[in-house]
Amino acid sequence: MADDQPPPASSPTPGLDRVARALSGARHVCVLTGAGISAESGIPTFRDALTGLWENFRPEELASPEAFEQDPAFVWKWYEWRRELVRRAEPNPGHHALAELARRVPRLTLVTQNVDGLHQRAGSTGVIEYHGNILRDRCVVEQVVADRSRDVGGELPRCASCGGLLRPDVVWFGEAIPRDALLRADAGAADCDVFLSIGTSSLVYPAAGLADEARRRGAFVAEINKDATDLSSRVHAVVRGPSGELLPELLRRLGP
């Protein structure tokens, strides 16, 4: 499918020029971001977060409904640590460039697999959070985003309205993508004329299927990532390198 060879890592120029040309005529751009763009802000990937104190645990032992049911305090401990990393991180030039891109094209749909809220902090609006947001709490009884009760002691956070247990508002192993996010992301991929896959390994479905859906509907599909992925051979342009450098450069080539 790829109608050009991926450029060598040292020369991302040809791919970027092709992406810039596609963007300059785009009516609707759909962007999917993954862990790579947040890693450039110092946020460890899910697997990289299994270090130090946590290195002997499998992800399913920390991020599944079963693990939470068995030992909510333990699961919360891991999430509080990860929340602290997120709070300390700042959006990088890649996040800012995507917020700016939304102002330069008629329409942009931004779908992220990241749970850190860095796109919003960079100024992006209407972000579709495929896997939720680690900084939000959700009540396990009411299944809605909830505030914490102020007057309950103990080690577990409780819902301000019903007193039920709170959990991080993220998608765990064995759980479905929130329906609203799924539908909005599908609609964006189906309708766009340019699709950008940025900083994602393109291994985790259903997110990984969005690029194929966009291509099937006739969109120009580009991958911006440090490494080759399963998707690389099925896109129109591949640009290798850090999104924090490539996306600002893309904006420069796009012009005002």
Neighbouring C-beta atoms of residue 243, cutoff 10 Å: 28
Using the 8-state DSSP alphabet, how is residue 247 labeled?
Answer: H
Q: Nearest distance from residue 156's CB to Zn ion, in Å? A: 13
C-beta separation of 2 from 220 below 8 A: no
Q: Nearest distance from residue 159's CB to Zn ion, in Å? A: 3
Which one of residues 115, 139, 185, 250 is an interface residue with Zn ion (CB under 5 A)?
139
Number of residues that bind Zn ion (CB under 5 A): 7
Binding segment for Zn ion among 1-9, 11-19, 132-140, 217-225 (CB under 5 A)? 132-140
- Residue from 217, 219, 172, 185 nearest 69 by CA: 172
From 95, 96, 119, 131, active-site residue: 131
Q: Of 3 and 151, which has the nearer Cβ to Zn ion?
A: 151
Site for Zn ion in 95-124 (CB under 5 A): none
Alpha-carbon span 204 to 148, nearest angstrom: 32
**Residue 140 contacts Zn ion per CB under 5 A:** no
- Ranges of beta strands (E only) in 123-254 are 128-129, 132-139, 166-170, 194-198, 220-225, 237-240
Alpha-carbon span 68 to 98, nearest angstrom: 35
Which one of residues 85, 162, 182, 204 is an interface residue with Zn ion (CB under 5 A)?
162
Binding segment for Zn ion among 70-78, 112-120, 136-144, 228-236 (CB under 5 A)? 136-144
**Residue 142 contacts Zn ion per CB under 5 A:** yes
**Residue 147 contacts Zn ion per CB under 5 A:** no
Between the alpha carbon of residue 180 and those of residues 43, 116, 127, 176, 203, the distances in Å are 26, 19, 12, 11, 22
Query: Does 131 qualify as catalytic in the annotation?
Result: yes
Q: Which parts of this chain interact with Zn ion (CB under 5 A)? A: 139, 141-142, 159, 161-162, 164
Active site residues: 131
